[in-house]
Amino acid sequence: MNRFVRHLLVVLTAVLAVLTPSVAAVAATESKASVLSRWTQTTAASTDTWNSARLNRAPWASYAFDWSTDYCSSSPDNPLGFAFELSCWHHDFGYRNYKDIGAFDANKARLDNMFYADLKRKCATYNSVVRPACLSLAWTYYQAVSIFGSLEAVNPSDIDRARALIEK
């Protein structure tokens, strides 16, 4: 490679590095409410962005997010073997952090809808034979948080009804 091409590549790389903000730089300029909003939408992209941050929390440390979870509270985390833990964690994250900034009431409905969207995406990964049972449980879990604000309202009989769907 001749000298001119090498010099041009070095200059272009330097310009690109200056113009491309790092995750940490973006994190430093965004408000906590803005980040929460971006991470708690009903889209798969929003969930993926939150999950990436969950797996690499260091760039977000200055926000002091509450990453704690009790997963699906007192309801089963994996009802009938359907893996709902990550959806419950995402929901807990939204609830806890919006409460922390005093904006929970204004965002609760969206957080519950995000939870339901996450659960439906999870159910879509199961085969068509068991998917109706998964979707039935997803609806039950969504209704519990939507109406009562907690998964503690899930009745064991709801899980029994979903089990009957599988056994048909």
**Is 91 a known active-site residue?**
yes
Tokens of 127: 């085969």
pLDDT at 165: 86
Task: Find out whether 50 and 90 touch, Cβ atoms under 8 Å.
Answer: yes
Q: List pLDDT tens digits, range 108-163.
A: 999 999 999 999 999 999 999 999 999 999 999 999 999 988 777 688 888 888 88
pLDDT at 18: 44
Task: Find out whether 80 and 63 touch, Cβ atoms under 8 Å.
Answer: no
Q: List pLDDT tens digits, range 43-75.
A: 999 999 999 999 999 999 999 999 999 999 989
Q: Residue 115, by phi and psi: left (phi above 0), alpha (psi -120 to 50) or beta?
A: alpha
Q: What is the mean pLDDT of residues 93-104?
A: 97
Active-site option among 90, 91, 122, 131? 91
Count Cβ neighbours within 10 Å for each residue of 25-64 and write b for 16 or more, e otherwise. eebeeeebeebbbebbbbeeebbebbeebbeeeeebeebe
pLDDT bin (cut points 50, 70, 90) of residue 9 is: low
Tokens of 12: 């272009």
What is the rounded CA–CA span in Å between residue 99 and residue 93? 10
pLDDT at 32: 98
Angle at 152 between CA 101 and CA 69, to 5 degrees: 45
Structural domains of the chain in order of their starting residue, each with its CATH number = 1-29 (no CATH), 31-167 (1.20.90.10)
* pTM over 0.85, yes/no: no
